[in-house]
Structure 1
Amino acid sequence: MLVSSPNASRPSTVVTLAIALLAPTPAIALGGEDLYGQAEKNVISASASQSRIKVTQTSGPTGGKQGTLSATDVNWEPPPCWYEPVFTPEQLKNFSENDGNGDVALRQSWIGSKLWTDHFKDEKDAANYFGTPSTVKGYKNFNLGKDGYFWRGFSPNVREVDDTSLCSRLMFWQDAGEIPDDPNAPTPETLADYAYNKVKVPETEVELKPAAKSTVNLPTWVWLDKGTFKEVKVRAELPNTGLWAETTAKPIALHLEPGTEDAETFPASGDCQINDDGSIGTPYTKGNADKTPPCGIRYLRATNGTPYQLSASVTWQGSDGTGGDLPDGTFETTQDMNVQEIQSINR
C-alpha cells in the first residue's frame, strides 16, 4: 500500500506486521525513544549511537509485565546502518561554537573546533584531513540561510558494522524535503525493521484447569481468552523526512512445554492454534474431566517438592505490506506446575 508523502521526494510505504489494520487510538510514547525531541529542546548531540527515529505505541496493552519479541528466523537481521538528519544550520553552528564533539558520522570521532571552522564554516575540502584522492567539498558558514539538514550515519550496533565503508560518509547536507540518493538512505522498510525490535508484548500466563496443581493421568486444560492478547501496533517515524511505518504484532499461536519428559501435550506438537474469535484453546467446563482438551497437558508423574516449569510461548505474526517479510516473533514465560498423585484403596 502506498501513500503520498508531502515532505519526501518519494512515496512512503505503510508497513504492517499483520494483515488487519486497527482503528487509530492515542499514541503512547515508549520510554527513552523520543530522541529527536532532544534537538528540539536545544539538547544538542551528534552521537551516532542514538537514532532520531521516534517510536510510539498507538494501540495494544501497555500495563503489566511486557517483553520484546525474539525472531523465529535466526538468519533475519535489521539493516546494519542508515543515514539520518541530525542538524539544521543553526544547530550545527551552535554545536560548533559550544565546543561540540561526538560521533558526527560512523567511525569518525572529532574533538576540537578545527573540523567546524575549516570544513563546515570556511569551505575547506574534507580531503585536507583524510588525504583521499576524491574531495568532499566544504560548506560556507554552516549553510546558514538554507533550508535543509546535515545528515550523518547511524547504526543500532556500531561495533557490529563490519564494513567500515557502510554509512561512513562525513556529515553531509541535504535540502529540505529530499532523501539522499544513497544506497543506505532510510526507507519505510528501514523504519519497520527498527520498530520491530521495539514492539513490547504482554507476558504469557495461560489459564489452567486444574489451576496450579494437576493430577497424574488427568488432563489439564489450557486456554487464553480472546481479550487476553490483542494486537500491538507501533509507529516509527523519522522527523523531517516524511518517512514513517506502522508495525502491528498479532498473536497467532501458543506453544506448550510441560517442563518434564513425563508428560504429553494436546495436540502432540504442543502447538495450540488461535481460534476464529481470537481465543486459544477451550475453557474447562464441568463434566470435561475425562475428555481430551484441544489445548492441554497430561502429566504422567507427580512432582516431589519441586514444581515443573510449564513454559508457554506465544507466536506473533510478522509480515509486511510491501512484498517483503518480517519474521514471526515469540515471547516465552514460565509458571510453576505442581502435580499430585491420588491414591485409592480397593476393599
Structure 2
Amino acid sequence: ADWKRLVDKAHALGLKVIIDWVPNHTGGDHYWLTKHPDFYVRDPKTGEAVSPFDWTDVRKLNYSNPRMVDSMIATLKWWIRETGIDGYRCDVAGEVPKAFWSRCIRELRAVKPVFMLAESNEPWMHTVGFNATYAWEPFSIMKDIAAGKRPASALDSLQAREDTAFVSNALRLYFTSNHDENSWNKADYGTMPGPVHAPFAVLTFTMKRSLPLVYSGQEEPVTDSLSFFWKDTVPFRKYARAPFYKQLTALRRNNPAMASDAQFTRLATGNDAALYAFERRKGNSKVLVILNLSAQPQQLTWKRQPSQNVWMNVFGGLPEPVKDGFGIEPWGYAVYERR
C-alpha cells in the first residue's frame, strides 16, 4: 500500500516511476533456489547454482527453462498492473538473451506503453525494444577529456560511431556518475573534480539523443563514494548544485529543441581541441551550447557561425551577441536558447 501511494503521488506531480529489475540473477538466498532449483544455471560437475562473473553473492538464472521465462514475464507484468509503474531499469540487460527481451517487452507493452532502460551499451538492445541504454562509451571518453588524455574533438568520432551503430530513435543515458562509477571509480568527485564537472553535466543534458542521469547525492554534491553493500545515507543539506540542475531540466522540459528528434549541428570553432560547440533545433526553437573542455581559458572564435547572432542566455536570463566570440573560463560553459 505504501508503494502504491508513492507511485500515485509521483503521478500526481507529473512524474513517471520506473523500478530497478535484475533479470540476470537473484540473490544467493532467493526462495527460487529451493522451490524452483531448475530455474538456475547449474555447474555440470557439482550441480550447484553458478554465480555470474565473480559475483559470489548471486546466482545466474536459466533462460533455457520456459517456466522460468514465463515466471519472469508474469512478475514484470504484476508490478505494472498492480502498482501502476511506468517501466523498468534492467540491470546487466545484455547478459539476458535477445529472444527473451523481444517477447517480454512486446508483452509488457500490451499491458501498458512502458519505458525500458537497459544497463548496457549494446546497440542491439534497441532493436529488441529498449527505449534507452547506458552511454558507457561516451562516459569513458568524457573521463579521458576531463583528465587531459583526449581532446574535446574526440566527441566527434564518438558521435560518428553512435550514428552508425544505433537506430535513429535510440536514447542514450548520459551521466557523470552512477552507482558503479561512484562506488568503485570515484565519480564524479574524483574523475571530474570541482569545476570540471559542470561542462560535462551540461553535455549530458544537451547532447544529441541524450537522456541525463543525476545520481543520488550529485545535487549536494557528495564528494565521496557511496558504499555498495551496506547503508550509506546521503546527507542532503546544501543542495549546492540543485539550481544548476533545475535550470538544465527546465531547458529540456520547455524548449522543443531538446526533443530526441531535434536537429543536431556541430559548430566548428578556432580551437576544437578545447572547445565543443553545437546547436540543436526543432522548428523555430533552438539551443546553442558552447563548452570549454579544458583547464585553460579560451577565446572563442567561429569557423562555422551559429544560425543567429543574438541569443538568450539560459543561466543569465539576458540576450547576448555571440557572432564575434568571447572569452570562456577553464571548464566553462555557455548555454543559449530561442523558444
TM-score, length-scaled by structure 1? 0.23
Q: More strand by proportion, 1 or 2?
A: 1
Structure possessing the higher relative contact order (Cα contacts under 8 Å, 6 or more residues apart): 1
TM-score, length-scaled by structure 2? 0.23
Q: More helix by proportion, 1 or 2?
A: 2
